[in-house]
Structure 1
Amino acid sequence: MFNNSNHAYIKDGWFREINDKSFPGQAFIMAVDSILYQAQSEFQDILIFRNKVYGTVLVLDGIIQCTEFDEFAYQEMITHIAMFAHSDPKRVLIIGGGDGGVLREVAKHSCVKQITMVEIDASVIELSRKFLPTLSDGAFEDERLDLKLCDGFKFLQDIGDSGLQNRYDVIVTDSSDPEGPAEAFFQERYFQLLKNALNPNGVVIMQSSENIWLNLNYLRDLKNTAKKVFPNTEYCYTMVPTYTSGQLGLIVCSNNASLSLDNPQRVISEQEQEQLKYYNPQIHSSAFVLPTWADMIINK
């Protein structure tokens, strides 16, 4: 075990998520029962600790990425909104997602024939498998998985240059917040790379890093950036207690302008639904419904 007092984000036994750039004027704190791991990888600061309510907590560069208690609210929605918005996804690309949660959810779809996962930081995969094994739940052993340890931006560039046969039906971007190495994943050039790697009827989804309670103008600008590239762009959200203000936004896009992203294109089977804790067809559609004041800014 590590000493609770020997980390920059922990004081008096409490982890403090303070980020004046992303979350000005507020902070999130959580009691630390014990630190399981702390180190600086080649790319980011990694902290893993235990909390008696939320279980094991993964923190990257001072921002909580997931906890055992509520991770499914994020993993299921960022995965299944896109997966069920597509009528028959065969090839799926995951950018980031080293904790294995999105991979676990994608692997639940029997229609998928190939899963490519691109993660730049191998240590996140290794540590998550050790300290948070329920996130991947054995999905790293799935025979459909092609794991690539490289930069997601560069990988997308190569896919776009390689021809239509290598494109994907669904792309899930599970990146960190837009600071440091993840900043490029929230710019127009990245959306263009996603478009070039996507099949004509494909669907891409990414976490927006913000929600309607934090920075509404940023969400409007991010959606407008995506709309410059994709003819079909929508905003939806999921509820995650350990994300600042308890809500996390998602940007969903498609090359198919007529596709109804807010409606599942496939009927979820009873067996599929039994595997899920958060997602269902009603949640899928309602996640796109915004309060009037937010809708007027984001969707007008």
Structure 2
Amino acid sequence: MSDWTRERLHPDYAQSLRVDEMLYDSKTDHQRLKVFENGTFGRVLTLDDVVQTTEGDNFIYHEMLTHVPILAHGAARRVLIIGGGDGGMAREVLRHDSVTHVTMVEIDAGVVEFSKEYLPMLSAGAFDDPRLELVIADGAEFIRRTAGGYDVIIVDSTDPIGPGEVLFTDTFYGHAKRALTTDGILVTQNGVPFMQGGELTNTMGAFRALFSDATCYLATIPTYAGGPMAFGWGTDGPARATPPDVLQGRFDASGIATDYYTPEVHKAAFALPGYVKRLIP
């Protein structure tokens, strides 16, 4: 198994990926970062052997965290991304010509430079778009002091371990709500509910206290193993009730070609299985 890497995120379940060619392997005092080639997923980025993103299936994650809130909102001009140093989230947001400004807050400048070198296909030129403002700062501190005015806020965080833990707190979500416009939308990544149910429950508890419309939606991403992934959704506006024909019209007008997102998938993603519903307070 020397040519395989094994993910140990969960105590009693693991997935393995074949390493066809190791492109980067660096271990520091705190973590081990790898980039390798895999026959199915292309370039794979892992942190302590936990998959962060892949060339092959990142489109699902990035399309569903961007197009769902932006098209549901219908008039999003200013978007804030917390995290997302690989540039994939910015790539998808900037495909919307209607978006005039994107603020991307990444805690580590090295992640951006690393991703430009080893995973340039993820950002696909997003870092050169004049609408993108890259801020190197702690996301929790930025959200606390920002003047706000964002129509959509996307939290593209790692799991709630180490530096990413603060992005899953009630205080952070409260500051994020303050940074939204009146009908603004906050979306978050909340792990795989079957394996990480507590993560979703905690976030939804905070969202229910903050927003009149608080729920999650789902998408299946092959390398985030253990079932569909949950994305938190919070807003005080009417966006989730946008009729399918309106979503279709907005999608058609955008001219964006997608590989996962469709208006039909958008509506269906909010239909939750019983075990996920029971995780929402």
Q: TM-score w.r.t. structure 1 length?
A: 0.86
The match for 1:191 is: 173
What is the 5 A alignment of 1:138-217?
Answer: 138-159=125-146, 162=147, 166-211=148-193, 213-217=194-198
* 2:143–2:175 Cα contact (<8 Å) kept: yes
**How far apart, in 1, do the equivalents of 2:199 and 2:150 lie?**
28
1:45-70, Cα deviation, whole Å (9 max, x unpaired): 32111111111001123321111111
The match for 1:3 is: none
Q: Which amino acid aligns with 1:17?
A: E
* 2:205–2:280 Cα contact (<8 Å) kept: no
1:109-154, Cα deviation, whole Å (9 max, x unpaired): 1111111000011222112111221111111100101101111111
1:23-57, Cα deviation, whole Å (9 max, x unpaired): 23101110111211122579753211111111100
Query: What residue ranges of structure 1 are gaps of 5+ in the alignment?
Result: 1-10
Deviation at residue 252 of structure 1 after TM alignment: 0.8
Q: Does 1:12 align with 2:2?
A: yes
* 1:262–1:284 Cα contact (<8 Å) kept: no
Q: Which amino acid aligns with 1:225?
A: A
Farther-moved stretch of structure 1 (172-181 vs 79-88): 79-88
1:176-216, Cα deviation, whole Å (9 max, x unpaired): 000000001111111101111111110110100232x2243
Q: Which amino acid aligns with 2:271?
A: V
**How far apart, in 1, do the equivalents of 2:239 and 2:181 lie?**
13
Q: Does 1:228 align with 2:209?
A: yes
What is the 5 A alignment of 1:204-283?
Answer: 204-211=186-193, 213-256=194-237, 258-260=238-240, 266=247, 267-270=249-252, 272=254, 274-283=256-265
**Matched residue of 2:226: which SS?**
helix
1:215-245, Cα deviation, whole Å (9 max, x unpaired): 4354233211221122221111111000122
Farther-moved stretch of structure 1 (224-233 vs 267-276): 267-276
Q: Which amino acid aligns with 1:228?
A: A
Query: What residue ranges of structure 2 are gaps of 5+ in the alignment?
Result: none
Q: Which amino acid aligns with 2:145?
A: D
Deviation at residue 246 of structure 1 after TM alignment: 4.3
Q: Aligned match of 1:99 in 86, 90, 103? A: 86
Deviation at residue 173 of structure 1 after TM alignment: 0.5
Q: TM-score w.r.t. structure 2 length?
A: 0.92
1:149-181, Cα deviation, whole Å (9 max, x unpaired): 11111111111xx4xxx4200011001000000
* 1:188–1:229 Cα contact (<8 Å) kept: no
Matched residue pairs, number?
A: 279
Q: Does 1:127 align with 2:117?
A: no
* 1:178–1:209 Cα contact (<8 Å) kept: no
* 1:118–1:152 Cα contact (<8 Å) kept: yes
* 1:195–1:255 Cα contact (<8 Å) kept: no
**RMSD across aligned C-alpha pairs, in angstroms?**
2.1
